[in-house]
Structure 1
Amino acid sequence: MAKYEALDEVFVALADSTRRAVIRRLGEGPASVSELARPFAITLPSFLKHVRVLESSGLVRTAKSGRVRMCTLDRDRLALVDGWLAEQRHAWEGRTDRLAAFVTEPKEPS
């Protein structure tokens, strides 16, 4: 059950377009909070709420050095989503394969 609770937290974090954009940017490498906030037309305190959600979900790690808070992406946490999607893809491919076989196989006369 813990695996699915962690997955829920990740999906909640990814449900917001601002947070997805932050994840996309951090995929290029670490960045400061102010650098991450620059493209968004929101206040820094509002942006920090997004960072906290990402941090509490485990997708982002932050570290403060002096007055600068740096953010890095935790790729292992994203692997949870990848693993879940792979499970779903496998299940649905099996279902569609069975449906295709059912539809295309000739029927025996009764």
Structure 2
Amino acid sequence: MMERRYSDYTYEELRQEVAELTEKARKAEQMGMVNEYAVHERKIIMAKSYMMNPQEFSAGETYQIEGDPAHTFYIEYMNGVFAWGYRQNDRKEKVTEEKEEALPISMLGQQVK
């Protein structure tokens, strides 16, 4: 059977997937299986991204990053559920070496004015 893409899931199926992955992640964490936990966490982030509306995020705007309070994320452009851009410090200086990075939109928090 082919692996289905999250883009093909209904909202309800995504909700169910996040619940199942959250349970798997919890069990992996309890058993000290760090790598397995990380894989489940990444899948949760992706599934949650497909439950969100990419149009709520705009190029040229800056957003908080979930789990990275020291940095914000400046969006250069959107591509599906990915925001492409770069991390900045509190002085709005770019802090990533790469030209740009892609973050799933579920990793973005409030817009920073």
TM-score range, shorter chain: under 0.3
* TM-score, length of structure 1 as denominator length: 0.25
Asked which structure has the greater CA Rg, the reply is 1
Structure (1/2) with the larger helix percentage:
1
Structure (1/2) with the larger strand percentage:
2
